[in-house]
Structure 1
Amino acid sequence: MNVSEVKVSVGQHPLSQLRRYDAGVISQYYRYRPWKAIWRMLQIVFSFLGLFLGLQWDSWQHRQEENKYKRAAQLRQTLTRLGPTFIKVGQALSTRPDLIRKDFLDELVKLQDQLPPFPNEIAYDIIEQELDRSVEEIYKQISPQPVAAASLGQVYRARLYSGEEVAVKVQRPNLLPVLTLDLYLMRWAASWMAPWLPLNLGHDLTLIVDEFGIKLFEEIDYLNEARNAEKFATNFRDDPTVKVPAIYWRYTSQRVLTLEWIHGFKLTDVERIREAGLDDDDLIEIGVTSGLRQLLEFGFFHADPHPGNLFAMAPHCDVDGIRERGTQLNAQMAYIDFGMMDQLEESAKETLVDAVVHLINKDYTELASDFVKLGFLTPDVDIRPIIPALEEVLGDVMGKNVRDFNFKTITDRFSELMYEYPFRLPAKFALIIRSLVTQEGLALTLNPDFRIVDVAYPYVAKRLLTGESPELRRRLLEVLFKDGRFQWERLENLITIARTDRKFDLLPTAQLGLQFLLSDEGSYLRRQLLIALTEDDRLHTVEVQRLWHLIKDDLQPSRLFNAAIGALAGISAAGSLTLIPSALTFINKDA
């Protein structure tokens, strides 16, 4: 596609009808209009020059500590003046404590939703143009001023004539000309800087800008955001702890989005959350578990979970979010703003689960291979010298210091490896890491003693034990067997870890396990268990007894009998008959 193919409306910028990010089209347009690029580049350079000179002056005068908050505010104001693209860059940096010092970080967080709004008259004009009706015809009431203003749009609180309370999101005017010019300059700067950076940092730097551009274009398409919200809601339809606002399609267009109003509190508003009687740890568990489900189950994940996009809710609350008397309180977390989403391919999702299994098994050779599959290492890299480095970095993750482990720890350690070994950060995984670090940061706001492992390990253990798919059952076997020997201690650890999740019920897992064991698919496991029970020329009754003492309280006789009947009901008569000859074959072979 070239510029001549982009439809142009009267009085509009030639790129204003570009619906998808296309670096070629953007480059072609600005290549023949160098004065626009030069003028914008001068604006950017002079904007940052003031900040740079201020920092240098503080250094010469030895006043860095005294002026650090002033300079942090200056950085935020500079990014705000430069507009939406740089605000989005600042938002991304606000989630990277490994790159940005704390005083700057605290200011950049304000870029999430503390931005100057644009005039109401312009917002109302956009609503009327997009929906082809007057504001009075569409909304019975609408707030006289926006309740929030972000980098790409602002939000009004309104009420429909049908009575529903809604949020009305209106896009900032003339976004595309600004975004396309900034992205063009960023891409040019990336191509110029790449050769001067270490291989792992400079590699595909332009692709990272392109990924940023793709996501920005997706984010300013409100129809795309509405579809994302409904897909996200469908994924979590069986989870009442996750709330997704309903979309009002009749009042939604490319630049206007009308959705259900959420009554809740930002996750950073700790005082109001506690006043409402919500439990911090419950909210943390919901956030971490929903994040893991997005990555490891659905592959469709929210790539921008900053404090302005996540709300704590208590069901059965009044309009101010306060619990109604006499109602049962169960915490919920509401996700809003589905403009920045991403999809993991099935192969990447499976490799992530493999990486977790290999981490549990301390199999660093296979873990290095997982990094190759995920794109962190190129296929031609010799992984042999990297294996000891992985062991050094991750060796205590499953060891005695496991409670001291969190996601920030692992990102900090890997940032050191990036300089010593040819690791690179695929653009898609930059979004995932940003998402995970942000969610962990929010959790730490609620509970400074929080460790992501306390929720993540039970979730992974529970998924492995339930083994609802052949792939997960295969990975469970990888965990339980090492070098052909059954790892009794690992099974005990998995059960112990999974049971720390209050919602985990061992009985359905036992039923699924028994059903699998009796199936044709479980023939290998049956042989391996018989070997495990008799290996080293002895019956492993001590291990079996220890396992029984661990689980007996969860397996009441009546429930256990019903589970066994349920498991047997799932096996055909023909399948059951195959168990006898296979057992006899094993006995004769052993004899």
Structure 2
Amino acid sequence: MLRVSQALRLVHINIVLLRHGLDEVVTATRLFRPLRFLLYLAPWHWFRRDLPPYPVRVRLALEQLGPIFIKFGQILSTRVDLLPPELAVELAKLQDRVPPFGGAEARALIEKAWGRPVEEVLAEFQEQPLASASIAQVHAGRLRDGREIIVKVLRPGIEKTIRRDVDLLFAFARLVQRYFPEGRRLRPVEVVQEYEKTIFDELNLQREAANASQLRRNFRHSEDLYIPEVHWDWTRANVMVMERIYGTPVSQVATLKEQGISMRRLGTRGVEIFFTQVFRDNFFHADMHPGNIFVEPSGRYISVDFGIVGTLTKEDQRYLAENLLAFFHRDYRRVAELHLESGWVPQGTRVEEFESAIRTVCEPIFEKPLSEISFGAFLVNLFQTARRFDMEIQPQLVLLEKTLLNIEGLGRQLYPELDLWTTAKPYMERWMRDQISLRTLVRRSAENWPALVERLPELPGALTRLVDHLDRQTYTHPHSPASNIDAVAKQLQRNNRRTTSALAAVGLTGCATALLLLPQPAHSPPLLVPAAAVTLLATSLALVWRALIVPAR
């Protein structure tokens, strides 16, 4: 049940919508649909004042409702392919033109965080904000050594405001999970938990600064993306100081064209940057709406606002890459198998039936020119089909999907003919090849080498004890009646095979130890001896696995 405070917040939301003439939004919900006729009896319906256009009313209502609603509007604003153009343009104003709070109040918050007057730290500070967003606003300044900086400061009381709306989301999620037929599959509580973590991480500007530093290292020498430098000496939990950058907002397409920048290259570069962050670095900027992206005259992107970042597990990375490649190649059988292997659909699902359903959705879409395929529309159709098979929502992938939709929307603003699929396909194929390359094998071996060497001296003794244990099992078996002689014989054979495997493992481990301890031969390749030792140890571990776990046939 909703608490009193949550019920009051819900009433307030509906009042704001009604005040801005968005009656149809209120009455479209199942709760209020039976009361739609009351609108015609309401006084404000008879004497309605002149209202701004519908897109303006939507933006004003979202601004008044607070940060979570503003974030929702920012996400929608990037989908010009799914929204009416005039609504997308109006919602784009939510990206950096939310009404600011006072400059004097911002100065007071900064001085409290620093524990000293602004003038002692900065040679110049502008109280008029450069930009104002849902959670923080940005002021320009100059350090005493002459470097230009920006000072980002959190809105006062923002945590309490967000906590109120997140608690309301949790209440709705629990109701959906309890009473809605598909509540278990949609996993709404887990999705809100993921969002709660994301939004509250954004309230810690030291965390954002750390994210910026990581991205800056990842793209330090890149010609595609520039990340500004963080000034850590003056960064606090609610105040961040960062290098000031200059560039053209990515939404100003006409200006970018006047500068001679290739829109096609800019669109494809954005997709490449995203896939590089996801698969090469496993650390991606997850709030890439146009208000956070600028472009240098050279065509290089500049990114700001790093409060929301995402990562994936190695397993999710691999399954995601394989799924995308299978879609690219129209290998629907492999898509169905991957969903089963990853546990995204129940294990009892028939692969052939799921494959047929995916083919039914995808074939009509892929028959179009690739540049006309909307990834957002594709995902919607795919999820609708997956409902039949009780496919569960993956909360850890929601942020990635939202970012990918933003990237596609942004790319098609720049270059309407952007082919997300063709741009991404070579990258995915290259990444998959790299995962099984010799270089990757050597790199991973080098990463695991210290732990392996640390345990290496213990392996011979452990394997010797294993052999002794198996020997005792081989010659001590219970007395059995004649009817069980065959079973006993099979058990003895199994133990003998295990003993043989264990002895071989001891020998191989000894060889690997000797390779590591003896001097390396002159003029031999630097990685030859470690690679040979790793090979012997891998074979030894496989034999141990066979001795301990795999039953002899």
Q: TM-score, normalised by structure 2?
A: 0.70
- CA 1:334/1:98 → structure 2, altered by over 3 Å: closer, same or farther? closer
1:53 is matched with 23
Other structure's SS at 1:268 match: coil
User: Quick one: structure 1 residues 203 and 419, their matched pair in 2 at CA, closer, same or farther if it must change by over 3 Å?
Assistant: closer
Q: Percent identity?
A: 27
Question: Counterpart of 1:190 in 2: which secondary structure?
Answer: helix
Candidates 361, 371, 378, aligned match of 1:393: 361
Counterpart residue type for residue 147 of structure 1: L
Q: Return closer, same or farther for 1:88/1:372 CA change in 2, 3 Å cut-off.
A: farther
For the 8 Å contact 1:303–1:431, the answer to whether it is kept is: yes
2:284 alignment counterpart: 301
- Pairing 1:200-279 to 2, within 5 Å after superposition: 203-279=186-262
| SS of equivalent to 1:158 | strand
Point out the more displaced range, 297-306 or 99-108: 99-108
Q: Which residue of 2 aligns with 1:76?
A: 59
Q: CA offset at residue 188 of structure 1? A: 0.7
1:456 aligned onto 2:412: no
For each residue in 1:212-232, what CA deviation from the matched residue of structure 2 results, as whole angstroms up to 9, or x when unmatched? 111111001000001111111
How far apart are 1:428 and its partner, in Å?
A: 2.6
User: How much has 1:135 moved relative to structure 2?
Assistant: 1.2
Asked if 1:188 corresponds to 2:177, the answer is no
Other-structure match for 2:140 = 157
Specify the alignment match of 2:13 in structure 1: 44
CA distance change for structure 1 residues 393 and 257 in 2, over 3 Å: closer, same or farther?
A: same
Counterpart for residue 176 of structure 1: 159
Classify 1:109/1:302 alpha carbon distance in 2 versus 1 (closer, same or farther; 3 Å): same
Name the SS for the 2:302 alignment partner.
strand
- Of the structure 1 ranges 126-135 and 409-418, higher mean CA displacement relative to structure 2 is found in 409-418
Partners of 2:137 and 2:153 within 8 A in 1: yes
How far off is 1:408 after superposition?
A: 3.2
Mark the CA change 1:380 to 1:471 in structure 2 (over 3 Å): closer, same or farther: farther
In structure 1, what is the equivalent of residue 45 of structure 2? none
CA–CA separation in structure 1 for the residues paired with 2:366 and 2:432: 16
1:572 Cα shift? 6.9
Which string of whole-angstrom CA distances, capped at 9 and with x for unpartnered residues, describes residues 331-360 of structure 1?
211111110111101111111222234334
Q: Which amino acid aligns with 1:134?
A: P
CA 1:196 to 1:36, structure 2 compared with 1: closer, same or farther past 3 Å?
Answer: closer
* Counterpart Cα distance in 1 of 2:378 and 2:425: 15
Of 398-407 and 235-244, the range deviating more from structure 2: 398-407
Secondary structure of the residue aligned to 1:185 is helix
Partner of 1:134: 117
Give the residue type in structure 1 aligned to 2:240: L
- Output the amino acid matched with 2:326: H
CA shift at 1:235, angstroms? Answer: 2.0
Match of 2:409 in 1: 441
The letter for the 1-side match of 2:16 is S
State the distance in 2 between where 1:69 and 1:451 align: 37
Contact 2:75 2:289 in 1 (8 A): no
CA distance in 2, matches of 1:108, 1:227: 29
Query: Bigger CA drift: 330-339 or 362-371?
Result: 362-371
Is the Cα–Cα contact under 8 Å of residues 406 and 451 in structure 1 kept in the other structure?
no
The structure-2 alpha-carbon separation of the partners of 1:90 and 1:465, relative to structure 1 and needing over 3 Å to count, comes to same
Pairwise CA RMSD: 3.4
Match of 2:268 in 1: 285
Distance 1:361 1:72, change over 3 A: closer
- 1-side partners of 2:82 and 2:385: how far apart? 15
Taking a change above 3 Å as real, the CA distance of residues 155 and 400 of structure 1, as seen in their structure-2 partners, is: closer
Say which SS state the counterpart of residue 385 (structure 1) adopts: helix
The change in CA–CA distance for 1:374 and 1:162 in structure 2 (over 3 A counts) is farther
CA distance in 1, matches of 2:375, 2:365: 11
Q: Which residue of 1 is the match for residue 394 of structure 2?
A: 426
2:137–2:152 Cα contact (<8 Å) kept: yes
Residues 121, 144 of structure 2: 8 Å contact kept: yes
Taking a change above 3 Å as real, the CA distance of residues 129 and 344 of structure 1, as seen in their structure-2 partners, is: same
| Residue identity opposite 1:340 in structure 2 | I
Cα-to-partner distance string for 1:432-474 (whole Å, 9 max, x where unaligned):
121111111111111111211232123234445566746989x
Question: Do the aligned partners of 1:200 and 1:418 also contact (CA within 8 Å) in 2?
Answer: no
* Residues 82-97 of structure 1 mapped to structure 2, 5 A cutoff: 82-95=65-78
Question: What displacement does 1:305 show?
Answer: 0.5
> 1:159/1:469 Cα in 2 relative to 1: closer, same or farther (>3 Å)?
farther
CA shift, 1:378, in A, is: 3.9
Deviation at 1:100, TM superposition (A): 5.8
C-alpha contact 2:109 2:153 (8 A) present in aligned 1: yes
Equivalent residue for 2:310? 342
Q: Does the C-alpha gap of structure 1 residues 451 and 130 become closer, same or farther in structure 2, counting only changes over 3 Å?
A: same
| Change beyond 3 A, Cα 1:572–1:122 | closer
Q: Distance in 2 between matches of 1:360 and 1:80?
A: 40
Give the match's secondary structure for 2:175: helix
User: Are positions 1:352 and 2:288 aligned together?
Assistant: no
CA deviation after TM superposition for structure 1 residue 90, in Å: 2.7
AA paired with 2:65? Answer: L
Q: Measure how far apart 1:244 and its partner are.
A: 0.5
| 2:447 matched residue in structure 1 | none
Report the Cα offset of residue 382 of structure 1.
4.2
How far apart, CA to CA, are the structure 2 residues paired with 1:312 and 1:118?
Answer: 28
Residue type of the alignment partner of 1:389: A
Distance 1:472 1:404, change over 3 A: farther
Q: Distance in 1 between matches of 2:416 and 2:368?
A: 21
Shift of 1:165: 0.9
Q: Is the 8 A contact 1:193 1:202 kept in 2?
A: no
Displacement of 1:268 in angstroms is 0.8
Aligned counterpart, 2:467? none
Q: Secondary structure at the match of 1:166?
A: strand
Give the conservation status (yes or no) of the 8 Å contact 2:185–2:390.
no
Distance (Å, rounded) in 2 between the aligned partners of 1:207 and 1:352: 20
Change in CA separation of 1:100 and 1:69 when aligned onto 2, cut-off 3 Å: farther
Report the Cα offset of residue 68 of structure 1: 11
Number of aligned pairs? 429
- Partner Cα separation in structure 1 for residue 133 and residue 158 of structure 2: 13
Structure 1: distance between partners of 2:403 and 2:97: 20
Please tell me the residue identity of whatever aligns with 1:53: D
Rounded to whole Å, the distance in 2 between the matches of 1:147 and 1:374 is 46
Q: Which has the larger radius of gyration?
A: 2
Give 5+ residue unaligned stretches, structure 1: 1-26, 61-66, 315-329, 474-567, 576-591
SS in 1 for 2:240: strand
